[in-house]
Every structure is written in C-alpha cells, then in structure tokens.
Amino acid sequence: MLNCRILKLLTLLIMIIPTPVLSHANFALVTRFADNHIRAVIDELDPDDTGDCFALGELDIVFRTDNSGLPNIGIVLTDPRGRRFGFDPVTKRAWDALPVAQGYLDCDDLGSTDSCRGLIQVCGPVSGTYRLEVIAQQSTSYSVSISARSKRVPDGHSLQSYRSEADFENVAIRARSRNVVLLNYSRDGREKVTAQLRHPLHPHYYEAHFHRHPNVTARK
C-alpha cells in the first residue's frame, strides 16, 4: 500500500480553490519559435504497459515551487501526436490521453524544504517535439527537472539505453500565466535531446541541453 503522503496528482490538484480563467494570449509568444523547433512525427508503436518503459524508453518530469506544501503550478504535457496529460489549475481541466503515463505528488521526502514535488512519468514516449506547459495558480518561482531515457539497443553482450537530463531552476512566473517548454525527445539514443523554455515575461529564450550518457539496462 502506498504511503498516504504520496498523493495522486490529478486527484489532488482538482481540489485546489478555483482562480479566474486565463486567456490564451501567451500562446502567441511561442508560435514562430515553435515552428522552427518542431520535429516531424515518426511512425512508432505506442507502449502497451509499463514493461515497455525498459524496451521503448521513458520520460520523467519533476517539478516544484518555492512555497511550502503543494506546488503552486500545474503541468500539461502534449506529445507529438497531440495527446495531453496533466492538469491546468487555472481552467480546472485534466487530461489523461497518453497510452501509459502517471502523475502524482510526493510529499513524503520533504527534507528541509517542507515542499511537495510533482512527478509525471511517461512510458514509451514517441519521438518528436513535446509541448510542456507550466501553469501558475499564484505568482511563484518553479524548478523543473527532465530525465529522458532512449529505447534499448544491443551493444556487445548487453542491451544499452541512453539517459539525458536537463534542469530549469528558479524560474519566476506570474499568477494565472503560463510558460512553455518545447522538448525534443528521440527513442534513438544517438540523437541529442534538447529543451527550450519560452519565458513570457522577457523577449528571449532559455535553452537547456541534455547531457547524454550510456545506461546499461539488461544483458542478453
């Protein structure tokens, strides 16, 4: 049985006190940027269950804010095929369209920060450009860590995958506004994976590059 302090993400966030609905004006700020950084959708098979995380790869997103308790932001992830997963705390809408994905809040490992972190885990993500929306219920600063693992491929006497990581630390965001991260992911571990954060309060972009390293996962 799961520890009672590990809370399901969608269930908890739906209970947050409603706030005024945000217009979608900020989306226009990333249109030309997105057009220049979107990769074509590749015809790949979707995962059937969590076991495919090891064979097809995995995408993990961890987020937290600078307040104590629950994060003051919500996360909505859209995959290259237009399927969404996550919760918008402003419009109170939730999505669960990805084949194998889960989201939850972890308040069990608070340490000295006394704040919960949110996690979204996508099993067997397809290759292409993902749109990650960070949506603020209140003015705050947030941090997002992204970890991506490629599919397994034979390498000598073992099956090997590549893990990539990137972090955005202490990004300021105003109440009822949203930031957009364009995340390029590939199941092919030979390709470099990148993420670009569009900050709506400033006219420039923040770019984070993943560091790639091999991750031996199984033997033949």
Say what the pLDDT of residue 77 is. Answer: 97
Residue 28 lies in a domain: yes
Residue 114 tokens read as 């006394």
Residue 32 tokens read as 């030309």
CA nearest neighbour of 181 among 128, 130, 126: 130
Rounded Cα–Cα distance for residues 120 and 104 (Å):
7
Query: What percentage of the chain's residues is helix, strand, coil (to nearest 5)?
Result: 10, 50, 40
Rounded Cα–Cα distance for residues 46 and 165 (Å):
23
Residue 73 tokens read as 């932001």
Say what the pLDDT of residue 203 is. Answer: 36
Residue 89 tokens read as 């705390």
What number of CA atoms fall less than 13 Å from residue 197's CA on the CB side? 23
- How does DSSP assign 101-128, residue by residue? EEEEEE-S--TTT-B-EEEEEEESPPSE
pTM over 0.75? The answer is: no
Residue 127 lies in a domain: yes
Residue 1 lies in a domain: no
The H or E element containing residue 147 is strand 140-149
Cα dist from 187 to 11, 34, 35, 130, whole Å: 30, 21, 22, 13
Residue 57 lies in a domain: yes
Query: How many domains, the chain?
Result: 1
Residue 108 tokens read as 């069990």
Residue 137 lies in a domain: yes
Averages of pLDDT over runs of 10 residues in the chain (220 residues) are 40 34 28 46 83 90 92 96 96 96 85 81 95 95 92 84 87 93 91 76 42 44
Q: What residues make up the domain containing 214?
A: 6-219
Q: Decide the pairing of beta strands 140-149 and 194-198.
A: unpaired
Residue 16 lies in a domain: yes
Instruction: For residue 41, count other CB atoms closer than 10 A to its CB.
Output: 14
Say what the pLDDT of residue 113 is. Answer: 64
